[in-house]
Structure 1
Amino acid sequence: MASSAMTVAALIFSLFSLSNSINVFPLSSHYRSIGRPSPPFPSSLIKPELLKPIISYSSEKVYYEIKYFTQTLDHFNYVPWGYETFQQRYYGESIPYGSEEIAYKNACTHGYLSSAQALADYAMLIIDLKKNSSAEDSPVVVMGGSYGGMLARWFRLKYPHVCIGALASSTPILNFADITSPYSFNNIVTEDFRGESENCYKVIKNSWRKIHETVQQPGGLEELRKSFRICPNHISKDSLTNWLERAFIYTAMTDYPVPSNFLAPLPAFPIKQMCKAVDDAGDEVFKGIYEAANIFYNYTGDSMCFNLSNNSDAHGLNGWGFQVLISKKGEAADRWHARGTQVSYNGI
């Protein structure tokens, strides 16, 4: 068979979301200085007129081999079978400098957490893989969904000499300040619930005011603790509302027609299930809201109470908050660290 350099079968390279990105590590010290231009990348543009025929119809011999890369589409969740091959640095187990403590220590080490750096990593890796596989003339198509789709589209724009095309799905490519309304994401989440049940939408909307009013009353926090089965170690109005907001937002993000386990174990059509819980509760607002949140946080029924002081970052959202803020507001990494900014995902 002819060498793989002769193939014109597309080398399909997945850029699916955070969890399915490429496992890369800090660049050599030669390229670590922030602001230093990246080294040029060799072109891999295909010149059809120079290629020999790869299929002989008369002899029915095929001079290329199609291979497939199996990747679980787990979106954000860092399950072992979803990240055993590729990750973007700073997410999952791809932590540069050996530990999170060092990687997030200051602007110099944290500054590599950006989409621009991720794209440069992809470009270097793809070129190296093709060179080591004697496939430098093989075309590459990048694919992605959600954040991975944004990377795919940006990759095609920034490195057109490395890939011949990009396929992107569910890609909010224009969702940036001064381009799209800052309320666009929350509006979509709202319409997801409103489209399922007008009453469900109204109850959730009015529940924020009811929670605020309850907090102002003597013993109000204790009433909320009991209503929402909160563990006795901590509760406040903000921690409770943030906890509820995350349940509604994440459920809207994973409102699939089949059971899933991306961010949490969920049934098929989870928004439908949430709204049914709210509607079935009638005038018992807190009961309905609790039952809805319970679908996201405790669908398996294993939790006896909910710990609002649990600051674990199972989905890498602390890094995501930093990356999004830097991308949207153009804020320098050193300013972020100087004032110790913390950004919750539901505020983005």
Structure 2
Amino acid sequence: MHSSIASFQWLLYIFTVISSLQVSATRFNIPRLSPTRGTILQNPEILSATISEDFQTFYYNQTLDHFNYRPESYSTFQQRYVINFKYWGGGAGADANAPIFVYLGAEGPLDGDISIIGFLTDNAARFNALLVYIEHRYYGKSIPFGSREEALKNASTLGYFNSAQAVTDYAEILLYIKEKFNARHSPVIVIGGSYGGMLATWFRLKYPHVALGALASSAPILYFDDITPRNGYYSIVTRDFREASETCYETIMKSWAEIEKVASKPDGLSILSKKFRTCKPLKDSYELEDYLELVYADAAQYNQPPKYPVNMLCGGIDGAALGTDNDILSKIFAGVVAHEGNMSCYVNPPTIESETTVGWRWQTCSEMVIPIGTDNTTMFQPAPFNLSSFIDGCESLYGVSPRPHWVTAYYGGYVSYY
């Protein structure tokens, strides 16, 4: 499908929550920014997709560490990139200045993105553009140290896994491609969504001599260091629900206290498990509450025609009041079913910890410290971001502390005058 809607679906503001660290009684979610929609509940490994024969796969002998002269810095690994020559009118000849559109891979394998990112192919013919897709280091087949096991072994090998290295990877590959395919005069436009959009922005800032421009869609580059209000994202989700249905919004607001009320009973978790048809008995109320937050966020993220998920979910919640069993939690469950469909079970399904989950956990525990939280101005339970707990959790996992101010120091943030 080549409609503008289909082409830009991946450009939505996506904060897919996939993992949480637990530090004593404190809980918080690690946001994952993805250019393509996947299930937010089971987060399966992205499998290789069947793509057109127009796409050819290459590997670049990439430098492990671009910023040091230590002997190990000169180690290399094979980084994957894919090229579509179908529309290319560049190189020698009349169209020597035809552009190169570059999709910057983000926090996952490249396979799943190529076949569904329509923006590049939709616009390539008009500009006779060369299409290039580059995989992010440590994801997919672009793994240093010979294997994923070695690459993710400890903080020493993970230390080369960051956005600055990734952005420089892209610069090296693009300079190589321009030389290899006689495209020295072809302008480069880098493109990405969400985290990939952040990379596109930062690429343009750091390597303006390589990229003429960047299309950075839904790139939360200002969601660091409290430049953006911490509750900004969930405020937007709340607004979507309130605009869809005031009664739906009010029911969701009331449901959190009702969940805690039921959970406090001697057999409360069993009651909640049966009412929400959980895949496994609930261990605590947080499991259910986290699940519901994910469902509401997912509906808002993709609230577009023809289905309008928020309207579907609220229709389930409001419609439940027409039946005989119209208590608050029954309404909430009806909304879940309306959104998710009729499934054998909901909440805490079997999960597969994908390389995206593992990789993004490291990225957030190093430099991508995005302080997303909620307060009493949203329809969600107040859950402020706690930096101290976040640091404690990351130190227990990796033995290193996050750098919450690194992104704004390196790429830019507040304007300071002295």
User: Is the shorter-chain TM-score for this pair beyond 0.5, marking a shared fold?
Assistant: yes
1:142 corresponds to which residue?
A: 190
1:121 paired to 2:154: no
1:340 corresponds to which residue?
A: 397
1:242 paired to 2:290: yes
Q: Give 1:275 deviation, angstroms.
A: 0.8
* CA distance, structure 2, for counterparts of residue 293 and residue 79 of structure 1: 31
Output the aligned Cα RMSD: 4.1
* CA distance, structure 1, for counterparts of residue 368 and residue 102 of structure 2: 33
* CA distance, structure 2, for counterparts of residue 252 and residue 35 of structure 1: 48
* CA distance, structure 1, for counterparts of residue 64 and residue 346 of structure 2: 45
2:151 to 96, 99, 103: 103
1:225 paired to 2:302: no
Gaps of 5+ in 2: 1-9, 12-32, 37-56, 75-89, 116-132, 371-386, 399-418
Q: Give 1:93 deviation, angstroms.
A: 5.2
* CA distance, structure 1, for counterparts of residue 226 and residue 198 of structure 2: 18
Q: Give 1:104 deviation, angstroms.
A: 2.4
Given the superposition, is the C-alpha separation of residues 172 and 35 from structure 1 closer, same or farther in structure 2, using an over 3 Å criterion? farther
Contact 2:316 2:337 (C-alpha < 8 Å) held by counterparts = no
Gaps of 5+ in 1: 1-14, 40-53, 55-60, 259-267, 342-348
- The structure with the larger Rg is 1
2:314 corresponds to which residue?
A: 275
Contact 2:282 2:288 (C-alpha < 8 Å) held by counterparts = no
Given the superposition, is the C-alpha separation of residues 233 and 214 from structure 1 closer, same or farther in structure 2, using an over 3 Å criterion? closer
* CA distance, structure 1, for counterparts of residue 67 and residue 213 of structure 2: 29
Report the TM-score, using the length of structure 2 for normalisation. Answer: 0.59
**SS of 2:271 mapped into structure 1:** helix
1:327 paired to 2:367: yes
Q: Give 1:241 deviation, angstroms.
A: 1.1
1:112 corresponds to which residue?
A: 160
Given the superposition, is the C-alpha separation of residues 128 and 328 from structure 1 closer, same or farther in structure 2, using an over 3 Å criterion? same
Q: Give 1:274 deviation, angstroms.
A: 0.5
Q: Which runs of 4+ in 1 moved over 6 A?
A: 22-26, 67-71, 73-79
* CA distance, structure 2, for counterparts of residue 114 and residue 295 of structure 1: 39
Residue identity opposite 1:290 in structure 2: F
**SS of 1:316 mapped into structure 2:** helix
1:306 corresponds to which residue?
A: 346
Q: Give runs of aligned pairs for residues 78-89 of structure 1, distance below 5 A.
A: 80=111, 82-83=113-114, 86-89=134-137
Q: Deviations over 1:78-97 (max 9, x none)?
A: 69552576432334554444
Contact 2:279 2:347 (C-alpha < 8 Å) held by counterparts = yes
2:335 corresponds to which residue?
A: 292
Q: Give runs of aligned pairs for residues 248-267 of structure 1, distance below 5 A.
A: 248-258=296-306
* CA distance, structure 2, for counterparts of residue 218 and residue 30 of structure 1: 56
* CA distance, structure 2, for counterparts of residue 195 and residue 34 of structure 1: 56
Residue identity opposite 2:330 in structure 1: K
Given the superposition, is the C-alpha separation of residues 124 and 75 from structure 1 closer, same or farther in structure 2, using an over 3 Å criterion? closer
* CA distance, structure 2, for counterparts of residue 95 and residue 224 of structure 1: 43
Given the superposition, is the C-alpha separation of residues 24 and 101 from structure 1 closer, same or farther in structure 2, using an over 3 Å criterion? same
Given the superposition, is the C-alpha separation of residues 32 and 76 from structure 1 closer, same or farther in structure 2, using an over 3 Å criterion? closer
Q: Which is further off, 61-70 or 304-313? A: 61-70
Given the superposition, is the C-alpha separation of residues 206 and 90 from structure 1 closer, same or farther in structure 2, using an over 3 Å criterion? farther
2:241 corresponds to which residue?
A: 193
1:154 paired to 2:202: yes
Contact 1:23 1:89 (C-alpha < 8 Å) held by counterparts = no
Q: Deviations over 1:29-60 (max 9, x none)?
A: 57485999x99xxxxxxxxxxxxxx9xxxxxx
1:6 corresponds to which residue?
A: none
* CA distance, structure 2, for counterparts of residue 293 and residue 113 of structure 1: 37
Q: Give 1:19 deviation, angstroms.
A: 5.7
Percent of matched pairs sharing the same residue: 34
Q: Which is further off, 316-325 or 174-183? A: 316-325
**SS of 1:326 mapped into structure 2:** coil
Q: Which is further off, 25-34 or 146-155? A: 25-34
Residue identity opposite 2:300 in structure 1: A
Q: Deviations over 1:134-193 (max 9, x none)?
A: 212221111223222222111111101111112222222211123111111111111121
Given the superposition, is the C-alpha separation of residues 202 and 305 from structure 1 closer, same or farther in structure 2, using an over 3 Å criterion? same
Q: Give 1:315 deviation, angstroms.
A: 8.2
* CA distance, structure 1, for counterparts of residue 108 and residue 330 of structure 2: 29
Contact 1:225 1:235 (C-alpha < 8 Å) held by counterparts = no
Length, aligned pairs only:
291
